[in-house]
Amino acid sequence: MNYHQYYQTDVINGPGTRATLFVSGCEHQCRGCYNQSTWNPCSGHVFDADMAQRIVDDLNDERIKRRGLSLSGGDPLYPANLDAILSLVKQVKEQCPGKDIWLWTGYRLAELSSQQQAVVDLVNVVVDGKFEQELADPSLVFRGSSNQIIHYLR
């Protein structure tokens, strides 16, 4: 898996102060996508064990209390990302007690493969659905268009 951006401290993407990772790779091709440069899974930087450890260390850094991790993109549930994302999510659940994980995906929860579902089974909140330009609404919180749904799973 590759990633485009990592924000060590973020107050935009999800509730509270967070760490946010924007991964590479997306097949949805939403019209009006705000982040087309992430579509190519080979773009950006390689996500490696050092990067995963950096995220864990940031989440556990008491100097800036972060509520959790946000995973966006691109699409964290893009098939080629699933091994790395599942590994990261497991690592955060094991090593960062009390931190929540939010995940944005263009796939609908009802349509996930078993491998995608294995990731979703470990995250707290999923915002699902493609960005629909006709339904875009800047007043929406944590989503771009009104067809997208915030699922508070656990």
Residues that bind ligand SF4 (CB under 6 A): 26, 28-30, 33, 35, 38, 73-75, 106, 130-131
What's the half-sphere exposure (Cβ side, CA atoms, 13 Å) at 152? 3
* Minimum distance of ligand SF4 from residue 94's CB (angstroms): 28
* Minimum distance of ligand SF4 from residue 123's CB (angstroms): 17
Task: Measure the CA–CA gap between 73 and 6, rounded to whole angstroms.
Answer: 10
Instruction: Using alpha carbons, select from 33, 52, 48, 50 the residue that is nearest to residue 94.
Output: 52
Task: Measure the CA–CA gap between 45 and 86, rounded to whole angstroms.
Answer: 18
Q: Which is nearer to ligand SF4, 96 or 127 (CB)?
A: 127
Q: How many CB atoms lie within 10 A of CB 105?
A: 26
Q: Which is nearer to ligand SF4, 27 or 121 (CB)?
A: 27
Q: Which is nearer to ligand SF4, 28 or 93 (CB)?
A: 28
* Minimum distance of ligand SF4 from residue 89's CB (angstroms): 19
